[in-house]
Every structure is written in structure tokens, then in C-alpha cells.
Amino acid sequence: MTPIILLPGRSTTQAVGVRGDSFSTGRLYSEAVARAGGLVLQVPPLELSVESAEEIVSRFDGVILQGGGDIDPMRYGQQSNNEKNYGISKMHDDLEIAIVRAAVKLDKPMLAICRGFQVLNVALGGTLHQDLGAVLADSESHWDTYHEINLEPGSKIAKAMKTTSPKKSHSYHHQALDKIAPNLAVTGRAADKTVEAVEHATAKWIIGVQWHPEDDAANEPDQQKLFDGFVASIGG
């Protein structure tokens, strides 16, 4: 049977071909999962979705979290202290944090990407650097660029990607993980030591990555293999 993957949607005012505002998900995520043999379905960011998060997650075979705007710093015990913070949405935070906690509780395979990677850490008790300019000399070094990723040998992500140095890793973020949540282990870093990958220490298959593997998965085998490994973990 085709694995069915949950992807929390986002509110948008920019959709074309529909009347009024809408909910959306990134096309590249669905296409990468489809190449791996899975099917993505959207769950809208509604209050009922938040209230029913555990029930909803239980009906799916896995969860994928997409990139997007920043998480409200209040979610990790801070006040906003950087003018670069953008795209904060209470409903998006509410739903995605609830989905993460439900997926961990139910031990559902999960792939969390960019913002999703940060949501995974925050939902489980970690914190973020609100802007990389506070910890790196070059505040733009992870914004819309490709850079080296070093993965831990023997980690779940290295096994899935079949490499410890994946090619064509597209970085597009101004925030990064700071305090790592309990039960998350760092399994990948950039050359500047920015955390680029984590996995849950006790879950069957929960992996988060800071870069955007979906951006190059159609043409770069290393990046597609992460989605292949995610979908394969569902039947493993």
C-alpha cells in the first residue's frame, strides 16, 4: 500500500486559481515523497486540527514538516530580539508543535526540514539562535547558498543518504539551533559548526535537517535518498 504522509499546511493570500485566501504546501516536498513511493496529504492550520493533532497523526503513516517563517521566540522562552524575525504565525506554531509532539508520542516516522527542523527542536524543549549574525562573523553565510554538510558516520541520516558529505545542500535560513532538546542527538554540522541535522535518540525514525533537500532532490541522488529513506522507514 502507498504510504500516506501528513504535511501541515500554511495560510496564504497568494494562491492563484482559487477564490479568496487559501491553505498551501510546497510542491517540491510532495514531488520528492512521490518519487520515493509515498503520497503527501495536507492538514490545514485550523484550531480543530490542533485540538485533534494526536488523532490526526495516528491516521497517517508518517509526517513531514516544511520550511517557512520563524517560530515565535516566546515558544522557547525568549523575547524577540532581532529585526530579521519574520513570518511568525500563532496558528502555524500551534499546529506544527502539536503535530511534532503527537508524532514523537506515537513513534511515527518524521522528516523535519528547515523551519520544521527548528520546530522539532523547540517542540521538544530546545532553543534557537534568533539570528546567525549573533554567533557567526558572516550573518549571510547560510542564506540562499550551497555549503558542505558533514554527517556523523553510522547515523540514521548518513545511512539513508548513503554518504557523510551530501552534495548540493541548499541552505536558506537566518536562524539555527542553539540548545539541543532532550532526546535529540546532533548528527550533522556545517563547516562553521552550525547544527545541520539531528535525530531522535529513541524513536524509530525521526530526523531533522536545516537545509532544503527538496530543492535539488529531482536531480541530485544524495538529496532524494533522504526522502527515499524516510518513506522506506515506514515499512521497515
Q: What is the pTM of this model?
A: 0.96
pLDDT tens digits, residue range 123-161? 999 999 999 998 998 889 999 999 999 999 999 999 999
pLDDT tens digits, residue range 164-223? 999 999 999 999 999 999 999 999 999 999 999 999 999 999 999 999 999 999 999 999
Q: Are 54 and 223 in contact (CB under 8 A)?
A: no
Residue type, 177: L
Q: Give the integer Cα–Cα distance in Å for 186 and 173.
A: 18
**What does the domain layout of the chain look like in residue ranges?**
4-235
CATH number for region 4-235:
3.40.50.880
pLDDT tens digits, residue range 76-130? 999 988 788 899 999 999 999 999 999 999 999 999 999 999 999 999 999 999 9
Half-sphere exposure of residue 217: CA atoms within 13 angstroms, side-chain side: 23
Q: What angle do CA 102, 104, 110 make, to 5 degrees?
A: 100
The confidence score (pLDDT) of residue 12 equals: 87
Would you state the cell numbers that stand for residue 103, as one nine-digit string?
Answer: 508524532
Q: Give the integer Cα–Cα distance in Å for 143 and 174.
A: 6
The confidence score (pLDDT) of residue 84 equals: 86
What average pLDDT does this structure show over 58-83?
95
Within 8 A by CB and 6+ apart from 45, the residues are: 8, 9, 10, 11, 23, 89, 91, 92, 94, 95
Q: Are 128 and 40 in contact (CB under 8 A)?
A: no
3-state SS class at 199: strand
Q: Are 113 and 212 in contact (CB under 8 A)?
A: yes
Q: Which residues are bridge partners to 37 per DSSP?
A: none
First and final C-alpha spacing in the chain: 14
Check whether 236 has a pLDDT greater than 70: no
How large is the greatest C-alpha to C-alpha distance in the chain, in angstroms? 49
The confidence score (pLDDT) of residue 169 equals: 98
